[in-house]
Structure 1
Amino acid sequence: MRCLLEQMSAAPGQPIPAACGDWAATKAAYRFFDNPRVTEHGVLAGHFAATAERCAASEGPILILQDTTEFIYSRAQPARSALSRPSTPGVTRRASPTR
Structure 2
Amino acid sequence: MGDRNDHLFRVPFRDRINHLDEMEKQENKLRLERLAAESQAYYAEAYRQMPADLRQQSETWGVKALMEAVWLNGWDCGYRQSVRDRAATSTEMEGSADA
TM-score interval (norm. to shorter): under 0.3
- Please tell me whether Structure 1 or Structure 2 has the larger radius of gyration of its CA atoms: 2
Give TM-score scaled by structure 1 length. Answer: 0.27
Bigger RCO of structures 1 and 2 (CA < 8 A, at least 6 apart): 2
Give TM-score scaled by structure 2 length. Answer: 0.27
